[in-house]
Amino acid sequence: MRKVEITTRIPHEVFSMSATPLPLDGCRQRLTGVRGALTTAVLRLSPADRQLLSRLAVFPGLFTTAAVRELTGGPDPAPALARLSGAALVVRCGTRFRLLRVVREYFAAEPVAPAGPVSGADRERLDHLLNLSAVARFAGEHERAADRLTEALAICARCGDVPNAGIVLDALGDAALELGDYAGAFARYAQSRRLAMRLADPLWTAESLNRLGLVSWLRGDFGTARMLCAGAGAISKVQSGTRAKRAQSRALLGLGVVALHRGEHASARALLSQSFAGADRASWRDGKAWSLGQLGLLSLHEGDTTAARRYLRASLRNHHSLNARWRIASQLEALAAVALAAREPEHAVRLLGASAELRMLTGARVPPVERAARQRTLAAARGAVSPDRFTQLWSAVTAEQVIREELDEHAPAARVVDPPLRVFAFGRAEVFLGSEPLLPADWTFAKPRELLYFLLTETDCTKHRIGRALWPWSTDAQVRNNFHTTLHHLRRALRQPGWVTYSNGRYRFDREAGCDFDVDRFRNALRDTELAPAKWLATAVEVYRGDFLDGEPGEHWITERRAALREDYERAVKTLEVLRRRP
């Protein structure tokens, strides 16, 4: 399919979810219909309320009074919101508000218009809101996360910060997707795509099309999904770099899913295998998890329960390591179908009970494309055991226990909250969550791990200081974008956003959560030499297994830190030799 054909056949709402409003001043012609009634209502507003209403179109869903205040940067907007609500142009939903779609489309020509440089205070406020949203989302507090992201979007709109607006819109879409709000996710991704096209950013455009394709096939709209993913694949195929590889892998995933649901099994296997290989080359664990899950469903359709179980367990392991609980629930339901096919009905009931527990805890709905299969599996499981036995098995153990048993893990290698962290920087650089080592694929790329070591060896760092150390040759705008992406992947690798905290414009690593860092032990031993010099110097020498991040790539700060720590080590060795020679 040619690019032109792809573009023309994609539904209009993907490429244009806005309309140009009728003239508001000097409008003498008779206005009829819904648009005419809306124009009449808008004309009755004061100029200030009319301007506010037009600016509210930036919000793709619910918004708070605090978000409006961030958008306008002015006085309390509550009275104006009350007037707009009284005019039926803004809908009050408890403590939040929303625009009707027709009102949003009436005003929304562009969600965010590029402007001048963003002030330092706005950047710090934006960073703070993004950090709060990450912590809330990890804790499962989706409404609070959405409120913080909406406030962040308001700052981007007021300041004309288009790249960060795209990051926020994608995060809002991801949060909506996890909760099963597919219409909301589609609207947010479509808004992000419009910004990408405004900046003529091909990879951002491809990523947005892929996200829209994902929502489409989760909703069961395979025709739209195929066109969107084909468009994303055509764009990403001519690009280079890791982002392009990921975009291509995701496009192949979408096309493979479409082929699977159309019964084209040979084509589906080829596309999904290519998607997995691309995700593996790009060290994209999320993509590998999705591809493995779909390969498992394909094997189940073909009657190969052994392969299906192997693929689905591998997918479950990856999703579990990423703490993607809404996808964990789906994999458990697919494994229940495999258990039934393998004549293990009691195991199937336990898996379904664990999935239901996860959905209840997270609020995640069953995707429309998976509902029919889940209902069939549930009905078959109910019919295979007695009602009393079904009830007993359904809630016999916790979801986490079922997951560990399914993965054949005797210890919780990837717990959902507060995993103990061990970091080694002397000699060979290694990071462990509990007993599980973090591999290169967990970090996605090198900078997140470098950021971890920088935060561990420094205290209370500003973003400017981090940027000068990790990206010394980049502009302020590049540093800002690189920093947010790197911090996101660091938190994702550590599976707990609370490790990195933000307060008063400074970032720090929270060691109180249970972090063991060999450089800390080395420094503490040197500090305690006044109490028992020989004992603690010997401890420091023992901890020093080699130079700091020996052989690891990175910026000049690593070289400086390596030299300073080596100097401390050599001084400790000399002092210890003198002490041991004393009678």
Q: Which helix (H) or strand (E) holds 185?
A: helix 182-198
Mean pLDDT of the chain: 81
- Residue 35 binned pLDDT confidence (cut-offs 50, 70, 90): low
Q: Which of 42-46, 81-85, 116-120, 330-334 has the highest mean pLDDT?
A: 330-334
* pLDDT (0 to 100) of residue 111: 54
* pLDDT (0 to 100) of residue 114: 56
Q: Is pLDDT larger for residue 345 or for residue 37?
A: 345
- Helix, strand counts (H, E) of the chain: 29, 8
Q: What's the rounded mean pLDDT across residues 275-292?
A: 86
User: Residues 318, 322, 323, 325: what is their CA dihedral angle, to the nearest 10 degrees?
Assistant: -50
pLDDT of residue 31 exceeding 70: no
Q: Is pLDDT larger for residue 439 or for residue 582?
A: 439
Residue range 161-210, pLDDT digits in tens:
888 888 888 888 888 888 788 888 898 888 888 888 878 888 888 999 99
Q: Which residues contact 275 (CB under 8 A, 6 or more apart)?
A: 249, 250, 252, 253, 256, 287, 290, 291
d(CA 286, CA 328): 12
* pLDDT (0 to 100) of residue 349: 92
Residue range 501-542, pLDDT digits in tens:
888 888 888 877 678 888 988 888 887 555 446 666 787 888
* pLDDT (0 to 100) of residue 256: 93
pLDDT of residue 26 exceeding 50: no
> Where are the alpha helices (H) located in 219-264, listed in sequence order?
222-237, 242-261
Indicate the burial class of 125 (C-beta count within 10 angstroms; 0-12, 13-18, 19 or more): middle
Q: Is pLDDT larger for residue 531 or for residue 138?
A: 138
Long-range contacts of 522-526 (CB under 8 A, 24+ apart): 522/426, 522/565, 522/568, 522/569, 526/568, 526/572
Residue range 208-253, pLDDT digits in tens:
999 999 999 999 999 999 999 999 999 988 888 888 888 999 999 9
Residue range 288-304, pLDDT digits in tens:
899 999 999 999 998 88
Our measurement of the distance from residue 97's CA atom to the centroid of its chain's CA atoms, rounded to an integer in Å, reads 25
Q: What's the rounded mean pLDDT across residues 324-330?
A: 86
Among the ranges given (24-28, 308-312, 364-368, 451-455), the one the predictor scored with the smallest mean pLDDT: 24-28
Q: Is pLDDT larger for residue 22 or for residue 132?
A: 132
Asked whether 522 and 542 are in contact (CB, 8 A), the reply is no
CA 214 vs CA 207, 272, 382, 395: distances in Å: 10, 14, 31, 32
- Residue 133 binned pLDDT confidence (cut-offs 50, 70, 90): confident
- Residue 53 binned pLDDT confidence (cut-offs 50, 70, 90): confident
Asked whether 377 and 340 are in contact (CB, 8 A), the reply is yes
Q: Which residues contact 423 (CB under 8 A, 6 or more apart)?
A: 430, 431, 432, 452, 453, 456, 515, 516, 517, 518
Asked whether 184 and 211 are in contact (CB, 8 A), the reply is no
- Residue 25 binned pLDDT confidence (cut-offs 50, 70, 90): very low
pLDDT of residue 389 exceeding 80: yes
The first and second tokens of residue 427, run together, are: 């000699």
d(CA 100, CA 61): 9
d(CA 27, CA 40): 10
- Going by DSSP bridges, is the β-strand pair 421-424/515-517 parallel, antiparallel, or unpaired? parallel
* pLDDT (0 to 100) of residue 340: 93
DSSP 3-state of 302? coil
Our measurement of the distance from residue 76's CA atom to the centroid of its chain's CA atoms, rounded to an integer in Å, reads 32
Classify each residue of 275-296 as buried b or exposed e, where b means 16 or more C-beta atoms within 10 Å of its C-beta. bbebbbebbbbbbbbbbbbbbb
pLDDT of residue 411 exceeding 80: no
**3-state class percentages of the chain: helix first, strand second, coil last, to nearest 5:** 70, 5, 25
- Residue 22 binned pLDDT confidence (cut-offs 50, 70, 90): very low
Asked whether 555 and 450 are in contact (CB, 8 A), the reply is yes
pLDDT of residue 306 exceeding 60: yes
The first and second tokens of residue 30, run together, are: 């008779």
Asked whether 315 and 290 are in contact (CB, 8 A), the reply is yes
d(CA 561, CA 81): 54
Residue range 470-482, pLDDT digits in tens:
998 888 888 888 8
Residues paired with 91 in a beta bridge = 98
- Going by DSSP bridges, is the β-strand pair 90-93/506-509 parallel, antiparallel, or unpaired? unpaired
Asked whether 169 and 60 are in contact (CB, 8 A), the reply is yes
Q: Is pLDDT larger for residue 400 or for residue 451?
A: 451
Q: Which helix (H) or strand (E) holds 430?
A: strand 430-433
User: How many C-beta atoms lie closer than 10 Å to residue 164's C-beta?
Assistant: 23
- C-alpha torsion sign, points 485, 488, 494, 497: positive
Percent of the chain with pLDDT over 70: 86
Residue range 5-20, pLDDT digits in tens:
443 344 433 333 333 4
* pLDDT (0 to 100) of residue 583: 54
Asked whether 168 and 152 are in contact (CB, 8 A), the reply is yes
Among the ranges given (237-241, 259-263, 280-284, 355-359), the one the predictor scored with the smallest mean pLDDT: 280-284
* Residue linked to tokens 């707009």: 84
DSSP 3-state of 32? coil
Angle between helices 325-341 and 399-406 (to 10 degrees): 60
